[in-house]
């Protein structure tokens, strides 16, 4: 078949050393919110004190119940045939006080069992230290707005290295600083619901970069020589296309990138370090216009710049969609003052011709992913990249053709980027299973496997996208003609050669018989 770049008739192969995986996060799937010695996270607190803020008034109390069904989760990973599982550790499950004075033996046993079983099945754990579930007692001490969190996080990271570093060789420190800070400390629609878009947002990001660097240096100084692993930060990045060919819109695109990806990538990945100059200049100018004597973006000292620079062994990248970006007079008066949105001063929208999903912030546009990856290569000296999240939501149901199209087109973009010399080593789909999607609750389903959230047993059933992803992984090509029927076809690839439904039935039967 002809090799046509980016074309559906192409069957280009992924490199033999390219690795595929799936991703999850602790609060979104584990459940067992008050079991096994775990204390409250700030999300446990939020869903109890402000349940109306969640779209369907749901919570992560049970979620996918992976705390009790982790063996089935690993079986699903085997069925898909992938060799990476990215998951996160719940800080309050392992350290109930948030500090290393007490390590919860039940939490420690749970993660040891999970890691050991993954390795026994030939699956590489990529472990996220922090995916937004801060211990509530640390949140009550200021959370990510307290500069002491640099040391709190460093102490937590040291415990992780000590307890799991003999087996875990890929550490991801903090998930998506931009999203965490903008939602949690800017807009205030995620835990801890602090609304400080002009100051708190920037302080959160500043402290996250220093905390990440602290965890990196602890590993480099005390553990790398004996454990021989890698440490990386997880950054989110959307792409932007100018609405018109005007200079204003071209500048708006650059500012949009500077205030999202580059705000966190530039201090870590660039040779000069520090925030991108665009960000520094715009926040300083806006602060001056507001009569302030100094910028609301508190600068790093030269020592802090040096401490943060170079603190990642690869780039863990999350990407979902592309925006159309513009800047014109219609934006005047549209943003809260002061705020990072007003500082940035750009407007965005989605092209209505792009395929949509149940998530209003995601529309399918694979070429934007390709352009983003090339931008990272050209801007940051072609770092090693593992794509640690990429996916699209649906509603319930097994025939998820929009997700199938999304994965095929975004993986085609990955192949295009590889052809352009981008150093991409792996790709993880978000998500292995349906999960609690933060403020959206269960109204959005990202899972390759559907979970019946009304059934106490939380059965997992492969969607059409699971079959398609498995086909891509096993054949290392994207075949647009492959059209499985999830209602009649059994997923293969599990260790016992059984269908998912039969295997799950046997697992439950053995559990009930205490075998």
Side-chain half-sphere exposure of 212, counting CA atoms within 13 A: 33
Helices (H), 274-400: 277-289, 302-308, 340-344, 366-379
Encode 418-469 in three state secondary structure: HHCCCCEEEEEEECCECCCCHHHCCCCECCCEEECCCCCCCCEEECHHHHHH
* C-beta of residue 233 within 8 angstroms of C-beta of residue 173: yes
Residue 106 annotated in active site? no
In contact, 465 and 472? CB cutoff 8 Å: no
Question: CA-to-CA distance for 224 and 216, rounded, in angstroms?
Answer: 10
Neighbours of 241 (CB within 10 A): 17
Residues 6+ apart with CB under 8 A from 269: 312, 315, 380, 381, 383
Of 30, 41, 229, nearest in space to 136 by CA:
41
Name which of 405, 495, 403 is nearest 450 in CA terms.
403
The one catalytic residue among 30, 176, 203, 238: 176
Strand 424-430 relative to strand 449-451: parallel, antiparallel, unpaired? Answer: unpaired
Is residue 81 within 8 Å of residue 131, measured between CB atoms? no
Q: CB under 8 Å to 244, separation ≥6 — which residues?
A: 326
Tokens of 270: 């660039």
Question: How distant, in Å, are the alpha carbons of 397, 463, 504 from that of 487?
Answer: 10, 9, 16
| Cβ neighbours, 10 Å, residue 160 | 23
Return d(Cα 463, Cα 80) in angstroms, integer. Answer: 11
Q: Which residues contact 454 (CB under 8 A, 6 or more apart)?
A: none
Would strands 460-462 and 449-451 be described as parallel, antiparallel, or unpaired?
A: antiparallel
Active site residue 148: no
Q: How open is the CA angle 188-193-195, to the nearest 5 degrees?
A: 50
Q: How far apart are the first and last CA of the chain?
A: 51
Phi first, then psi: give them for residue 302, nearest 5 degrees: -55, -35
Quick one: which of 399, 415, 402, 414 has its CA closest to 467? 399
Please give the C-alpha separations between residue 401 and each of 138, 397, 405, 407, in angstroms, as whole numbers.
Answer: 43, 10, 6, 10
Catalytic site residue from 30, 389, 437, 450 = 389
Asked if residues 11 and 478 have their Cβ atoms less than 8 Å apart, the reply is: yes
Residues involved in catalysis: 176, 389
């Amino acid at each position: 078949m002809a090799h046509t770049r980016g074309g559906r008739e192409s069957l280009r192969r992924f490199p033999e050393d390219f690795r595929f995986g799936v991703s999850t996060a602790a609060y979104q799937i584990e459940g067992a919110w008050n079991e096994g010695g775990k204390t409250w996270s700030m999300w446990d607190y939020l869903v109890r004190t402000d349940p109306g803020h969640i779209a369907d008034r749901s919570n992560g109390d049970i979620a996918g119940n992976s705390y009790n069904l982790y063996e089935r989760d690993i079986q699903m990973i085997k069925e898909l045939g992938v060799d990476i599982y990215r998951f996160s550790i719940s800080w309050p499950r392992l350290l109930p006080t948030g500090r290393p004075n007490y390590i919860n033996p039940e939490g420690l046993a749970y993660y040891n069992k999970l890691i050991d079983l993954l390795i026994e099945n030939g699956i590489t754990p990529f472990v996220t230290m922090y995916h937004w579930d801060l211990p509530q007692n640390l949140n009550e001490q200021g959370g990510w707005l307290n500069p002491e969190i640099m040391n709190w996080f460093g102490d937590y990271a040291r415990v992780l290295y000590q307890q799991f570093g003999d087996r875990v060789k890929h550490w991801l420190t903090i998930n998506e600083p931009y999203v965490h800070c903008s939602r949690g400390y800017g807009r205030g629609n995620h835990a801890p619901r602090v609304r400080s878009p002009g100051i708190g947002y920037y302080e959160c990001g500043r402290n996250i970069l220093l905390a990440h660097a602290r965890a990196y240096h602890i590993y480099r100084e005390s553990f790398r020589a004996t454990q021989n692993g890698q440490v990386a930060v997880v950054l989110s990045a959307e792409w932007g296309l100018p609405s018109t060919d005007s200079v204003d819109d071209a500048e708006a695109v650059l500012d949009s990138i500077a205030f999202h990806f580059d705000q966190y990538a530039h201090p870590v990945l660039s040779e000069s370090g520090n925030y991108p100059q665009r960000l520094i200049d715009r926040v300083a100018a806006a602060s001056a216009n507001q009569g302030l004597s100094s910028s609301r973006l508190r600068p790093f000292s030269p020592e802090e710049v040096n401490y943060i620079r170079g603190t990642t062994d690869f780039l863990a990248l999350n990407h979902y969609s592309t925006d159309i970006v513009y800047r014109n007079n219609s934006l005047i008066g549209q943003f809260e003052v002061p705020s990072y949105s007003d500082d940035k001063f750009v407007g965005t929208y989605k092209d209505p011709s792009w395929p949509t999903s149940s998530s209003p912030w995601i529309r399918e546009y694979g070429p934007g992913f390709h352009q983003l990856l090339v931008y990272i290569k050209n801007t940051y000296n072609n770092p090693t990249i593992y794509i640690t999240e990429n996916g699209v939501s649906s509603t319930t149901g097994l025939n998820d053709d929009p997700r199938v199209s999304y994965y095929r087109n975004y993986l085609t973009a990955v192949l295009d980027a590889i052809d352009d010399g981008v150093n991409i080593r792996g790709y993880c789909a978000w998500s292995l299973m349906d999960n609690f999607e933060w403020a959206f609750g269960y109204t959005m389903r990202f899972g390759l496997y559907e979970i019946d959230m009304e059934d106490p047993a939380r059965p997992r059933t492969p969607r059409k996208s699971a079959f398609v992803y498995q086909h891509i992984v096993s054949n290392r090509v994207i075949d647009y003609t492959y059209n499985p029927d999830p209602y009649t076809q059994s997923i293969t690839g599990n260790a016992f050669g059984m269908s998912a439904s039969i295997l799950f039935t046997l697992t439950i039967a053995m559990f009930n018989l205490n075998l």
